[in-house]
Structures are given as structure tokens and as C-alpha cells.
Amino acid sequence: MPIDPSAAIELTAFKWVPPFARGQVRDLRPRWAMEEQGLDYRLRLLDATRPCPEPYLLEQPWGQVPVLDDGGVTLFESGAILLHLAQKDERLLPADPQRRATATSWLFAAFNSIEPLMFELSTVSIFSRDAEWATLRKPSLMETLGGRLDRLADRLGDAGYLDGEFTVADIAMATVLRVAHRTALVPDRPRLAAYLARCEARPAFQRALADQLAEFDRNEPAAA
């Protein structure tokens, strides 16, 4: 069990979030990576309430989680944290130059070519769902995002993972695809659905997810 209060690596996470955000908060990504690697970490739990305390903004400019402190070296942005962790371990980032280049390309693809459309999906479907523009925008967004996921499914083909073997890019891509969990975008594409199921079936993912959810359960406010 990698969560260890005396571990050298510290990860920030939220103490509690509302149900719609559970299993989506981005500390899930480094938790998953460290489970794959068997790296111990301790948690620093933050209130998700706003406004974010000023001192934390010096650690994380947007007031989000996660921040990683690895023996005094600190990073923000889940992509940077994933890359930092993966560089410790060839199981997540292969040493072969082409395989490393491919994994890095897919890592950025998840964050810069798929997730931006997923952010827009969350805006339209959750945060601004009652706005007229959101209703009008949704069909064209679903078409654009669907087209990009078609390309992703084509490139994945029958491979088990983006680069054949599991790498850090799959942690990024699977957690990005999970954002669409209320839609048919992934289920409608059998190769993507099988890929996501394969990623989520990994024991390391299951442990990371269970640990994130357990914390929210533990800190559930008493009913009014």
C-alpha cells in the first residue's frame, strides 16, 4: 500500500469533493503512476473550498491539485508530475529512444489534443449546462470530439496500449477518456471502450481510485 505518512514523496489531494467530481480529480493520475511503480507517498489534504488560500497559489498557480513534492523538489500540473515520476522507471517510460519518443508524444496528445475538448465537454455538460449557448454548442462539440476519438481508435487499432506496452501515456489517456463517462463517446467506439476497460482493470488503477474515493467517504460532511 503506497500511502505511507513517512514517505519522501508528498502529493496534494482534496479532502472532499461533490459526487460529480469523484474519481475524476487529477491526483488520481500520480496515485496511479505510483501504484504501478510501487512508490510510497504521503498525502497532504486540502479543502476544495474557494477562494484558494494565497500560499497554495504559490505552489499551484490555478489553485488546483495535485502538487508533488519529491524530497524537496516540487512540481505542479499532473502532466509534469506524471513525466517526473515516469522518468524514474522504464516500466512507465521505456529507455529505447523511439519507444520513449512515442510515449512522450502520446502523453502530450492526451493533454493537448484530447483533454481540451473534454474540458469543453465538462463546461457544456456540467458547469454551464443551464446556459442557452451550452445547449446550442453541444452537438458540434460532440461531433468534433467524436471525430478526434475516431482517429485515436484508428491509431490504437488492436494494440493493447498506445505504444503496444503500457506506459505513462496510457495513464494520461485513460484518465482523459474517463472525463466523458456520462456520454456514449467511448462506448460507441468498441476499440476505445476495450482500451479504457483494459486500463481501468489494472490493479494499480483500482487501488488508486479506491484510495481517492475512500478519502471523500471518510470526510463526508454530516447530513444537515
Among 10-18, 29-37, 97-105, 197-205, the segment contacting its own copies (CB under 8 A)? 97-105
DSSP state of 163: B
Asked if 107 touches its own copies (CB under 8 A), the answer is yes
The mark string for 29-58 relative to its own copies (x by CB under 8 A, - otherwise) is: ----------------------------xx
| Number of shown-chain residues binding its own copies (CB under 8 A) | 44
Bridge partner residues of 85 (DSSP): none
Shortest Cβ distance from residue 31 to its own copies (Å)?
18
Q: Which residue has the cell 471502450?
A: 193
The answer to the question of residue 24 lying near its own copies (CB under 8 A) is: no
7, with CB counted inside 10 A (0-12, 13-18, 19+), is middle
Q: Which of residues 142-181 bind its own copies (CB under 8 A)?
A: 148, 151-152, 154-155
Q: Which among 36-44, 76-84, 178-186, 211-219 is the span making contact with its own copies, rule CB under 8 A?
A: 76-84
Residue 89: DSSP 8-state: -
User: Interface with its own copies includes 15 (CB under 8 A)?
Assistant: no
For position 6 contacting its own copies by CB under 8 A, the verdict is no
Q: Single out the residue of 20, 38, 105, 219 in contact with its own copies (rule: CB under 8 A).
A: 105
* Bridge partner list, 67: 76
Q: Decide: is 88 part of the binding site for its own copies (CB under 8 A).
A: no
Closest separation between CB of residue 220 and its own copies, Å?
A: 29
3-state SS class at 142: helix
| Cβ-count burial 13-27 (b if 16+ within 10 Å, e if not) | bbebbeeeebbebbb
Residue labelled with grid coordinates 516540487: 74
Count of all residues that appear for the chain in the document: 224
**Which H or E run contains 30?**
helix 28-37
Q: How far is the CB of 117 from its own copies (least distance, A)?
A: 8
Chain residues 126-145 in contact with its own copies, contact rule CB under 8 A: 128, 131-134, 136-137, 140
My answer on whether omega of the bond before 51 falls inside 30° of 0, hence cis, is: yes
Task: Please say which residue, 55 or 221, places its beta carbon nearer to its own copies.
Answer: 55
What is residue 183's three-state secondary structure?
coil
